[in-house]
Amino acid sequence: MPIPTIPTLNLIGPGRLGRSLARLWHDTGLVQIGAVAGRHAKRCVAARDFIGAGTPMVDGPLPPADLWLIATPDDAIAGVATGLAADTALRTGDIAFHCSGALASDVLAPLQAIGAHTASVHPLKSFAAPDTAITSFDGTFCACEGAPDALQCIAPLFDAIGARRFSIDAEHKLRYHAAAVLACNHLVALMEAALRCMEGAGVDRDTAWSALQPLVAGTLSNIDRNGTRAALTGPVARGDKQTIRDEIDATRSLAPELGEAYRVLSLVALGLAPPENGLTRDDISAS
């Protein structure tokens, strides 16, 4: 079924990402917001107010729509898809999509089975604060996979809000998403580990962060300019075996996970170190 000029979008999951995208699309005038559906009336109303359009809904069958965005937490997507498949409002040819980074569009198989075209589009962005997310979405990379019919319909919507789309192989979404988790969420964890080590050395947290921040910014800039291999300095790059062993022990004495983080990341760094420095996996693992 061809999608009408101004399609209607039902949003299921009125959380951070869902309300942000719906607001951006409402602002473009390219979609008409239909249901803003969730589990709690107050949150659906808050999302509707943020979006500036839509009908908050908790119970009852959803109205027909051309586009269905399932923006619940990942674990709920399959269940919502199964429920929607039993909902007569969803018509053959409708587009159903989600924005999970870890799941592929095949989690929407129950909807595909009743004739919907399904896809996933994952924005590589944190929507922690929707107010900020909507003003900074322009330029966000979005990993897309799914049925060509579905992608063809939703691509212009993402393009209109400044997405930089690229294709991802459905089979490898977990690896793809792990990359995003490592670069974003685990960077936070890594900074926390570094701060705890500084505190363990008697440096207060504020001073520690003031000292580490330029180091981190400079390292990111070096990676950006010259790549990871050229940006690696420190004991692994130099092959300082004893320092590595001592620092694994020193961090482990603060907390086992700090020692393990240091050791495991040293193993990853080893892949970037010049082979002539003589450092081996055993030097790092044997500590």
Ligand X SMILES: NC(=O)c1ccc[n+]([C@@H]2O[C@H](COP(=O)([O-])OP(=O)(O)OC[C@H]3O[C@@H](n4cnc5c(N)ncnc54)[C@H](OP(=O)(O)O)[C@@H]3O)[C@@H](O)[C@H]2O)c1
When asked if residue 23 is in the footprint of ligand X (CB under 6 A), the reply is no
- DSSP SS3 for 278: coil
Q: Which stretch binds ligand X (CB under 6 A): 96-104, 185-193, 222-230, 248-256?
A: 96-104
Residue 270: partners with Cβ closer than 8 Å, 6 or more residues away: 236, 279, 280, 281, 284
The one among 123, 235, 239, 259 contacting ligand X by CB under 6 A: 123
Residue 18 within binding range of ligand X, rule CB under 6 A: yes
Stretch that binds ligand X, among 15-23, 194-202, 214-222, 271-279 (CB under 6 A): 15-23
| Strands of 87-170, DSSP E | 95-98, 117-123, 141-146, 164-167
SS3 label, residue 159 = helix
Tokens of 119: 């896809």
For position 101 contacting ligand X by CB under 6 A, the verdict is yes
SS (H, E, C) 195-209: HHHHHHCCCCHHHHH
Q: Hey, what are 245's tokens?
A: 């062993």
186 binds ligand X (CB under 6 A): no
Residue 235 touches ligand X, criterion: CB under 6 A = no
Residue 70 and residue 49: Cα distance in Å, rounded?
19
Which range, of 7-15, 48-56, 142-150, 228-236, touches ligand X by CB under 6 A? 7-15
Q: Name which position in 45, 76, 212, 250 contacts ligand X (CB under 6 A).
A: 76
List of residues contacting ligand X (CB under 6 A) = 12-18, 38-40, 43, 71-74, 76, 80, 98-101, 122-123, 125-127
